[in-house]
Structure formats: C-alpha cells, structure tokens
Amino acid sequence: MVLSAVLSGLGLGLSLIVAIGAQNAYVLRQGLRREHVATVVAVCALSDVVLILAGVAGTGAVLERVPWLVTVVRVAGGLFLLGYAVLAARRAVRPSAMDTSAGGARVGTAAVVGTCLALTWLNPHVYLDTVLLLGSVAGTHGDQRWWFAAGACVASVLWFTGLGVGARALRPVFARPAAWRVLDGVIAVVMAALAASLLAGAGGIGA
C-alpha cells in the first residue's frame, strides 16, 4: 500500500510538472547559462514541496472558499509574466543588449531567487494543480496520503534537478548566439501566452 501510494504520487507529480511552462523555461535557461543552477533548482523544488504538503494538509479547501484570492494571483502573475516576456523578446530581437557568448549578462543571486519565487508563487496553476488537484487525489489514499505526498515531492526534486543539470548537454548547441535568440524568442512566446491566459481567466472569474 505504501509503495503504491508513493508511485501514484510520483507519477501524478511528474505528469503535472513536465509540461512546458514559465518555471521550467527559466530553469532550463539558467541551466544552459550554468548560472546559480543549484539555487534555482533548490528554490523551485522546495517551493513545490511546500505547496504539495500544504495541499495534502488541506489548504486546497481554504482556496476553494476564497476564490477572489486566486483572481488576485492570476492578475499579479499575468502582469509579471508579461514583463518577463518583454525582456525575453528584447534579448531575442536586440542581441546587442546582451553578451551573446554567455546568453546575457550575469544576474545576482537575489535577482535569480526573486524571479524563481515570482514564477512559482504568482502562478495560479501551481495552486490549482499542486495544491487543489494533488491535495484532492492524496485524500483518496486515506492514511497513505502522506506517502503519496512524498512521491509527488520526489518527482519535483528529480525533475528540477534533471532539468537544471541536464541542460549542460545542450551547451554545444547554444555555443552559437543565434541559438540563444531562438530560445529567448520561444520563452517570450510562452510567457506572453501564459500571461494572456491568466489575465483572460481573471477577467472571466471577475465577471
């Protein structure tokens, strides 16, 4: 029973986290740059662990009773992602604005941590998927729900570590400045699409 709960949590956790999104795009970019990789992985993984445990502990039920809070997060997250999309687009269109040999000027640890936290905690999908969905499914495992949570936590740690460290294998491709422009272009599109989705959803909820 314990192993089944752990594997269920691991499987669902991976299925939710592997999708292309703002957080994964940022981890990939930092991994390619070899810049504060351990910090980025630690912040993202620890944030996921906290959210998963909160969901299993019942925070999801609280969010269901306070729908306006999710709306606030949608608006804040949408505006943040829109700003990040503009910066990525600027790097893609104007390579002169960055050191193309390194994929951009180095950023301080505080700025990297702040961006990681914003991409994680200002994303309402994190609350809908990690807190509400995982928390609800964990509840179906009864006394084994914390083992389910453990499996989901392991999934997050494995994924972010693999993404951050594994990005090194793509370094030869990104030795060319043009590759960085393409990556930043893709990131800009992803961020802008997510921002539009969040802001449109906020408008729908408000109506």
Residues 16-45 pLDDT 10s: 787 667 788 889 889 988 889 999 999 999
Average pLDDT over residues 54-83: 76
pLDDT of residue 45: 94
d(C-alpha 165, C-alpha 157), whole Å: 12
pLDDT of residue 152: 92
pLDDT of residue 202: 64
**CB pairs under 8 A, 24+ apart, for 42-45?**
43/113, 43/116, 43/117, 43/120, 44/116, 44/120, 44/156, 44/160, 45/156, 45/157, 45/160, 45/161
- Dihedral sign for Cα atoms in the order 42, 199, 60, 139: negative
pLDDT of residue 102: 46
pLDDT of residue 97: 46
The answer to whether 164 and 156 are in contact (CB under 8 A) is no
d(C-alpha 78, C-alpha 198), whole Å: 5
All structural domains of the chain with their residue ranges: 2-206
Average pLDDT over residues 160-168: 90
User: Which one has a higher pLDDT value, 88 or 165?
Assistant: 165
